[in-house]
Amino acid sequence: MRVRTWLTPYVFVSPFFLVFAAFGVYPLIFALQLSFTRWRGAGEAVFVGLGNYSYLLSSPDFWASLGNSAVLWLLIVPVQVVAGLGAAVLLANAKLRLRGFFRVAFIAPFVTPLVAMAQVWIVVFDTDYGLVNYVLNLVGLPDVGWLTSTTWSKPTLALLFLWKTTGFAIIILLAGLQAVPGQVYEAAGLDGASRWRQFWSLTVPLVRRSIAFLVVVQTLAVFQMFAEPYVVTQGGPYGSTETAGLYLYDHISASDLGTGAANSFLLVLLVFGLSLGAVRLLRPKDGTS
């Protein structure tokens, strides 16, 4: 009877652990093992040790893909944190008319299929027939190769990502803001603190954990970015939008599964390091987690 009482909870939670082991732990272990081999999906895997890792770390294309992702991160994450926090403050505190409409409008792109949005982006930013260049021509400005220029391809791709995911950022930051007691701002107002001072001294520190969570999640999303460059630019022009996620896909599509697995684990280590740095940087000054 005592054994049955002790065993019953584990029986009820066992389905989750079985599914997690089958579709989470086992693929992870298999991919780690695969990263030390040369295998193309058929035949016997040949053990190559750290050969796949040394090949990637000495490959200019691998570092170029990381560089492209790093530039996209700089164009996306800081802008998204600032814009998302500003929009969240307006939606949470300001007496803004049609707040419900704006909340739906911000989240609509996030729930819209990415491929559909990417096709719209291609049409709007087309060099010859796009709406953006048409407007530029109306004011006497020349055409810009938004998707065909190495200078503008990354900003255009970053703008698509911002349009798609900023609604998610607003939701995260809005949830953090709504958890802040209103009495804090009332006390600050009685002490004579201006709205700007309240924002910097109260709002930003109190939503620091939400900002850290957003930075970690979006860092992971940017370095995994695949669908946007695949649909919009196919990694071009001249590899300027070949992201780390797209470079990983190139190995998988070429059946170079061992190198692809090694690439994925290098990305895991990189994103883990960046995320850890962001969390430590945004940690509250009192040292709490």
The DSSP secondary-structure symbol of 145 reads -
Rounded CA-CA distance 63/248 in Å is 12
Rounded CA-CA distance 43/235 in Å is 31
Coil, strand or helix at 209: helix
53, 136 in Cβ contact below 8 A? no
Give the confidence band of 182 by pLDDT, cuts at 50, 70, 90: confident
- Going by C-alpha positions, the residue among 173, 162, 26 that lies closest to residue 91 is 173
Q: How far is CA 132 from CA 78, 95, 143, 163, in A?
A: 25, 33, 9, 16
Give the confidence band of 63 by pLDDT, cuts at 50, 70, 90: very high
pLDDT digits (tens, 9 = 90+) for 126-170: 888 889 999 999 898 888 889 888 899 999 999 999 999 988 898
The DSSP secondary-structure symbol of 41 reads S
Give the confidence band of 72 by pLDDT, cuts at 50, 70, 90: very high
Give the confidence band of 55 by pLDDT, cuts at 50, 70, 90: very high
pLDDT digits (tens, 9 = 90+) for 110-130: 888 888 888 889 999 988 888
Average pLDDT score over the chain? 85
Q: What percentage of the chain carries pLDDT values higher than 90?
A: 25
72, 158 in Cβ contact below 8 A? yes
Question: How long is the chain?
Answer: 289
pLDDT > 60? residue 39: yes
How many other CB atoms are there within 10 angstroms of residue 167's CB atom?
20
Give the confidence band of 289 by pLDDT, cuts at 50, 70, 90: very low
Residue with tokens 């700007």: 196
Give the confidence band of 286 by pLDDT, cuts at 50, 70, 90: low
89, 202 in Cβ contact below 8 A? no
Helical H segments across the chain, by residue range:
2-20, 26-34, 51-57, 60-92, 99-111, 114-124, 131-138, 153-178, 182-190, 195-198, 204-206, 208-223, 227-232, 244-253, 257-281
pLDDT score for 204 = 82
pLDDT score for 235 = 87
What domains can be seen in the chain, in order of their start residue? 53-281 (1.10.3720.10)
Rounded CA-CA distance 243/228 in Å is 10
DSSP lists the bridge partners of residue 47 as 37
Give the confidence band of 75 by pLDDT, cuts at 50, 70, 90: very high
The DSSP secondary-structure symbol of 40 reads -
Structure tokens at 175: 């949830």
